[in-house]
Amino acid sequence: KKKIPIPDFKELKRQGKKIRMVTAYDYPTAVIIEKTDIEMILVGDSLGMVVLGYDGTVPVTVEDIIHHAKPVVKGAPNTHIVADMPFMSYQVSIEDAIRNAGRLIKESGADSVKLEGGLDYAPTVKAIVKAGIPVMGHIGLTPQTAGSLGGFKVQGKDAKAAQDLIDSAIALEDAGAFAIVLECIPAPLAKIISQKLIIPTIGIGAGVYCDGQVLVTQDMLGLFDRFVPKFVKQYAQIGQLELEAFNKYAEEVALGVFPDDAHSFSMKEEVIKQLEY
């Protein structure tokens, strides 16, 4: 496996090759993804919900992302790794945004950063790119500001909102973003945006016409059951397997069936005979 250089993402799109991305928040998951053809790993702030147990992504910190990106970088050295910029790590000022993007890259070893926001954040994207850090955009449903959007729901349904998203996508491309996540928007709108841009679109709940797709690993593996959005396909039920395994272990320990001889260490009879007790 070879890490995809930034300029090649455009090339993959040009060739009509789909780009695949999933999230990872730990070493063992990264090691497994590294063995696949999946081109990119996102260390996203969905971390807050699916791993840290928060109600949303807002409390996630730069330190949290660095802490979880480090083992992912170690486990998947030949996969492109994107580190999410947490809420309030890029909103206050452009200087702050550059500094925090720099920290994410320097301290974790990730290859690029991703931030939520459209037209208003194009100058921020431009400044981070100018500082030498590749940036992935993220528009549509932006979980950090889901409250203002009226919750976790489909974005860009009316003409005005759809046009805003088209304009935002173009502004982010012009600002130098190397790819853009389109989250939870109608498939026909994602198709228009994907056709308009030179850089690849990475969809989640945005239909099949995007240049790539991303899913949250815990969602697709059945490891997060607080809710399952319509756009999530569960490719496995790992959570159910874990539940069965823990239950079996608990039962076997209670019954004295585990550990058996195969999982215990023996001692020579003659050694035992020498002991005084």
Which residues form the catalytic set?
Answer: 183
Which of Na ion, ligand KIV, none does 23 bind, CB closer than 5 to 8 A by kind?
ligand KIV
* Residue 45 is a binding residue for Na ion (CB under 5 A): yes
Is residue 69 packed enough to be buried (19+ CB in 10 Å), middle (13-18) or exposed (0-12)? buried
What is the identity of the amino acid at 42? L
* Residue 219 is a binding residue for ligand KIV (CB under 6 A): no
Which of ligand KIV, Na ion, none does 189 bind, CB closer than 5 to 8 A by kind?
none
Stretch binding ligand KIV (CB under 6 A), from 42-50, 68-76, 118-126, 227-235:
42-50
63 marked ligand binding residue: no
Q: How far is the CB of 82 from ligand KIV (least distance, A)?
A: 9
46 marked ligand binding residue: yes
Look up residue 124 and give its two tokens.
């921020």
Report CA-CA distances (Å) from 247 to 145, 195, 238, 242: 39, 50, 14, 8
- Exposure string for 155-167, b = 16+ CB within 10 A, e = fewer: bbeeeeebebbbe
Report CA-CA distances (Å) from 23 to 57, 86, 173, 256: 14, 15, 23, 39
Nearer to ligand KIV, 26 or 258 (CB): 26
Show the binding pattern over residues 78-117: x = contacts Na ion (CB under 5 A), - = does not: ------x---------------------------------
Calpha distance 191→159 (Å, rounded): 15
Element (H, E) at 122: helix 122-130
CA atoms lying within 13 Å on the CB side of residue 89: 29
Nearer to ligand KIV, 47 or 171 (CB): 47
Per the annotation, binding residues for Mg(2+) are: 45, 84, 116
**What residues make contact with Na ion under the rule CB under 5 A?**
44-45, 84
**What residues make contact with ligand KIV under the rule CB under 6 A?**
23, 42, 44-46, 84, 181, 183, 204, 214, 216
